[in-house]
Amino acid sequence: MKLISVNVSKPKTMDHLGRRVSTGIYNEPVTGRVMVRKLNVDGDGQADLTVHGGVYKAVYVYDLENIRYWKQELGRDDLGYGHFGENFTVEGMTDDRIHIGDVFRIGGALLEVTQPRLPCFKLEMKMDLPGFSRQFITSGLLGFYFRVLEEGEVGAGDSIERVKVGPEKITVWEFARLYYFDYNNQKRIRRLLRIPAIPPDWSRAFEEILAAAGERGKKRKTPERAWKGFRNFIVDRKVSESQTITSFYLVPEDGEPLPIYLPGQFLTFRLSVPGQPKPIIRIYSLSECPCHAEYYRVTIKRESPPDDPAIISGSNYFHNLVESGTRLQVAASRGDFFLNPQEETPVVLISSGVGLTPMISMLNAIVDSGKNRPAWFIHGTRNGIHHAMCKHVRRAAAENDNITVHIRYSQPRPEDIKGRDYDSTGHVTVDLLKELLPNNDMDFYLCGPPPFMNSMMRGLWEWGVPESRI
């Protein structure tokens, strides 16, 4: 780890959207060695001390890898050191590698990680990108703040030594995720609150989140696991859903009844895979309605094989080696991502690629409930080669007036028929939702690869959809 640049600025006043704004975000690199003090770096200042600066936010740190990401993502070459308002531009300290409470020695200073950076409108002003704050948050590339334990001089080129690992080993990104997205995870939040380095205002905020989560939990409680450990299942049949996606129907070896699960939950598998020194653990979403009590179904995409031909990945193990009669070790269904099929609020199920598997489970559960709950099933994939369960979804829409389906192909083949196989060309975006939906007063469920999830969440926020409904 290395300190690449030290950046400072004094507050300046700018015109922004018709008003005068004072900000210290316009940091520039400085040469030579600089003193780091309890409240800031010499030469630096903050305009609004109610939300910036102070003991727990004395130094803002941003990693060079993050800056490179934004250059590529935004297509910009003007993102130099200090552009994100950071005091320290560093290398090797991304949010997923640094823990809250970690202590580092840089030059003569001893510094402790306290919290992630939460962007405000001034970052959007600096970037000249309205709405960038949400994109910044969903990227997971937030950077973090140091508290100064020992004052001292630092300079560009100094090595960075981690002298203490934070208790609980909760990363900067997990801290942010617990606040923005995973606020029902009471167990991890309680662990976070045990870390002494957390600022008092954050402790209060997470205590309030815990209290709110407790109230929500009374209304929406995840069932306890149906059995402990792993249970033997037999593959009853193996069904190809597309050229890359296959469904596996599982029945319990002991013949005992199958416990019910919630649509959207997953199964955990312990697989004895050739080439692996010990069993590997993989999770796959259940893709059928819980009403089918005689079997469980998982639907798995064949991933590209590992570079080492002697190693078989989990998905390739299923596709290449699992057949009817194969015994598999399976843990009980679990997961906080689920739909209550008894509710009647309009719902939108949005997926990309193999992310459709839990959505199929949810769609089937809505149909089976008989509630006539208005539901939109919106799915994006490359083309017919990769599209699974097309006929099933079309049939559900044809037989149920409350179900609307829209399929979008990004690269349709000549043999893919518009109106039969797919409905439009391109990627699934919030602009598409605005065309298809009568309004945004609905519950939105998302599943797909991270870029898709980040884009959709950002777009839904900008459309005014509350986080509680995503």
Please name every residue paired with 58 in a beta bridge, in sequence order, or none if there are none.
none
Residue of 275, 246, 242 whose CA lies nearest to 383: 242
Mean pLDDT over residues 408-437, rounded?
94
Range in 134-148, 175-189, 356-370, 382-396 the model is least confident about: 175-189
3-state secondary structure of 195: coil
CA distances from 253 to 246, 272, 323, 409 (A): 21, 18, 15, 40
Degrees to nearest 5, angle at CA 428 with 354 and 400: 75
The model carries a pTM of: 0.56
Give all strands (DSSP E) within 117-215, no chain letters: 144-150, 152-154, 160-164
Range in 1-5, 46-50, 114-118, 325-329 the model is least confident about: 46-50
- CB distance 380 to 351 below 8 Å: yes
Res 385 pLDDT > 70: yes
CA distances from 190 to 47, 171, 194 (A): 33, 14, 7
The CATH architecture to which 2-172 belongs is: Beta Barrel (2.40)
- Going by CATH, does the domain composed of 230-334 fall within 2.40.30.10? yes
- The pLDDT value recorded for residue 218 is 46
- Over residues 157-211, the pLDDT tens digits come to 999 999 999 999 999 989 988 887 677 788 899 999 999 999 998 898 888 878 8
For residues 397 and 216, the model is more confident at 397
Is the dihedral angle over the CA atoms 207, 209, 212, 213 positive or is it negative? negative
- Over residues 64-111, the pLDDT tens digits come to 999 998 888 888 888 999 989 899 999 999 998 999 999 999 999 999
The mean predicted confidence, pLDDT, of the chain is 87
- Over residues 206-216, the pLDDT tens digits come to 888 788 666 54
Q: How far, in Å, CA of 302 to CA of 26, rounded?
A: 48
Res 52 pLDDT > 80: no
Count of CB atoms situated within 10 Å of the CB of 427:
14
Res 417 pLDDT > 60: yes
Mean pLDDT over residues 268-274, rounded?
87
The CATH architecture to which 347-469 belongs is: 3-Layer(aba) Sandwich (3.40)
Kindly state the greatest CA–CA separation across the chain.
74
- Over residues 322-359, the pLDDT tens digits come to 999 999 999 988 887 888 887 889 999 999 988 899 99
Burial class (CB in 10 A: 0-12, 13-18, 19+), 307: exposed
Q: Domain boundaries in the chain?
A: 2-172, 230-334, 347-469
